[in-house]
């Protein structure tokens, strides 16, 4: 018998903050035979998807779907609405806010960068201050990450909108909802968002490969004035064809099958129930972390994410070593610390098609891993989570 371990029994626990585990229903939908993307059956599929998506985004605005990751969604939002040299206001809430800023810089935009400690969301008062100082309205857009995947902190998007309005500033409002869509309430129209960016691999329960731009009338008007050269990302090319159920490129047909099924699942459960489920599982995870005597990277409990909990390791202990032990012993993947928190943080994803028993298994794996790795902690984190779940279902 070989001493090399080539098989681990049971299902792999994918507890990173995305891609999330893909439900069997969605996998089966993706496995359907590919159809003609110029035919009438495909048009019916596309129009049905766009109708269902508008409910998830809470919008009557157009939603554009591209075969890309969330990074493509960032680039599309900037290229379609701005011009080279324009100023944008952005906030360092974590790794992904930083990456979006880097995309803007590479495109030739001037970024007013508000530094942060990666432990909290955007302060709406700071937004208002910067915009009131900009009397000549040189700032053309405000970039805000709703839920920062690297830190587990969620910003108050509605409050930021009020801050923009209080400053009576005409800047476009762009929101990254990659880690929040279908996990946390997001209201594109009611919150006055001009471009909402999201992607397929988190709350929408799909593999990576699709990104989304939900686009207001104000953003569409801005796109007519953009001087950035762009072709693939053009909203104009999408707008007319989408009305008939088609795309200006070869679409990801089978991922769209999966998206349609995932949207059916979300609507069958009910979005309010989906948000409550994510919130309840997030609270249970936070109780487990507190029960272990460890620290949540997000310092403001009201900002803790519904989709991700980032856990700080005690000084002198390596988060990646813990993650490797848990992967090897229990076949569970945890999210690594990114950027400047690499090695000091591990992240527990509680996102997508996920329930109480799955969380119980995930938290048990963490507690056993902490013990094996010799990480100083208290016992009983799992019990605290289970007691809460039993009493709050």
164 plus 305 within the same structural domain: no
342 plus 385 within the same structural domain: yes
Q: Is residue 101 part of a domain?
A: yes
**Model confidence over 39-82: pLDDT tens digits?**
999 999 999 999 999 999 999 999 999 999 999 999 999 999 99
What mean pLDDT value characterizes the chain? 97
Task: Provide the percentage of residues in the chain whose pLDDT is more than 90.
Answer: 97
How is residue 201 written in tokens?
A: 């691999």
Cα–Cα distance measured from residue 94 to residue 116, given in angstroms and rounded to the nearest whole number:
8
274 plus 194 within the same structural domain: no
228 plus 305 within the same structural domain: no
**Model confidence over 161-195: pLDDT tens digits?**
999 999 999 999 999 999 999 999 999 999 999 99
50 plus 191 within the same structural domain: yes
Domain end position, chosen among 223, 242, 267: 267
Cα–Cα distance measured from residue 200 to residue 151, given in angstroms and rounded to the nearest whole number:
20
Task: Provide the percentage of residues in the chain whose pLDDT is more than 70.
Answer: 98
Whether residue 5 has pLDDT greater than 80 = no
How is residue 87 written in tokens?
A: 């100023």
195 plus 338 within the same structural domain: no
Domain end position, chosen among 227, 243, 267: 267
Over range 242-259, report the average pLDDT.
97
Domain end position, chosen among 226, 252, 267: 267
Please report the beta strands in 217-361, taking only residues with DSSP state E, as ranges in sequence order. 295-296, 308-312, 332-336, 345-349
190 plus 280 within the same structural domain: no
**Which CATH number does the domain housing residue 90 bear?**
3.40.640.10
> Terminal CA-to-CA distance of the chain, rounded, Å?
46
Q: Is 349 helix (H, G, I), strand (E, B) or coil?
A: strand
Over range 187-216, report the average pLDDT.
98
**Model confidence over 332-374: pLDDT tens digits?**
999 999 999 999 999 999 999 999 999 999 999 999 999 999 9
Whether residue 3 has pLDDT greater than 80 = no
Which pLDDT value is given to residue 2?
A: 45
Looking at the 3D structure of the chain, how many domains does it have? 2
Q: For residue 352, what are the domain limits? A: 13-20+270-392
**Model confidence over 306-329: pLDDT tens digits?**
999 999 999 999 999 999 999 999
> In the chain, helix, strand, coil percent, each to 5?
45, 15, 40
* CB-CB neighbours of 190 under 10 Å: 12
Residue 211, CB-side half-sphere exposure with 13 Å CA sphere: 20
pLDDT band at 258 (very low <50, low <70, confident <90, very high): very high
98 plus 31 within the same structural domain: yes
Residue 218, CB-side half-sphere exposure with 13 Å CA sphere: 14
Over range 225-250, report the average pLDDT.
96
Which pLDDT value is given to residue 152?
A: 97
51 plus 159 within the same structural domain: yes
225 plus 343 within the same structural domain: no
65 plus 161 within the same structural domain: yes
214 plus 341 within the same structural domain: no
Whether residue 1 has pLDDT greater than 60 = no
**Model confidence over 108-160: pLDDT tens digits?**
999 999 999 999 999 999 999 999 999 999 999 999 999 999 999 999 999 99
């Amino acid at each position: 018998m070989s001493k090399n371990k080539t098989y681990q029994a049971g299902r792999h626990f994918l507890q990173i903050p995305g891609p999330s585990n893909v439900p069997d229903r969605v996998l089966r939908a993706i496995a359907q035979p590919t159809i003609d993307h110029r035919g009438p059956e495909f048009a019916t599929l596309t129009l049905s998807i766009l109708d269902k998506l508008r409910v998830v985004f809470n919008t009557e605005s157009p939603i554009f779907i591209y075969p890309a990751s969330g990074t493509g969604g960032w680039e599309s939002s900037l290229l379609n609405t701005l011009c080279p040299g324009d100023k944008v206001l952005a906030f360092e809430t974590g790794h992904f806010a930083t990456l979006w800023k880097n995309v803007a810089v590479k495109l030739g935009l001037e970024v007013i960068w508000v530094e942060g400690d990666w432990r909290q969301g955007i302060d709406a008062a700071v937004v208002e201050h910067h915009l009131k100082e900009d009397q000549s309205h040189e700032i053309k857009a405000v970039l805000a990450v709703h839920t920062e995947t690297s830190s587990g902190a969620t910003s108050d998007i509605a409050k930021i909108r009020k801050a923009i309005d209080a400053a009576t500033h005409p800047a476009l409002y762009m929101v990254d909802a990659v880690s929040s869509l279908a996990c946390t309430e997001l209201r594109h129209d009611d919150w006055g968002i001009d471009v909402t960016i999201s992607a397929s691999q988190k709350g929408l329960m799909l593999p990576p490969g699709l990104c989304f731009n939900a686009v207001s009338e104000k953003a569409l008007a801005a796109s007519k004035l953009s001087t950035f050269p762009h072709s693939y990302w053009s909203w104009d090319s999408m707008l007319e064809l989408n009305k008939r159920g088609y795309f200006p490129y070869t679409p990801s047909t089978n991922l769209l099958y999966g998206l349609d099924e995932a949207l059916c699942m979300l609507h069958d459960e009910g979005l309010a129930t989906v948000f409550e489920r994510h919130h309840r599982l997030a609270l249970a995870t936070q109780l487990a972390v507190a029960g272990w005597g460890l620290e949540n990277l997000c310092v403001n409990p009201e900002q803790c994410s519904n989709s991700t909990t980032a856990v700080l390791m005690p000084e002198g202990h390596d988060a990646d070593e813990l993650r490797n032990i848990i992967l090897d012993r229990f076949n569970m993947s945890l999210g690594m610390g990114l950027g400047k928190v690499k090695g000091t943080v591990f992240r527990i994803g509680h996102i997508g098609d996920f329930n109480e028993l799955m969380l119980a298994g995930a938290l048990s794996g963490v507690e056993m891993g902490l013990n094996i790795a010799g990480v100083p902690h208290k016992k009983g984190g799992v019990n605290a989570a289970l007691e809460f779940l039993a009493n709050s279902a």
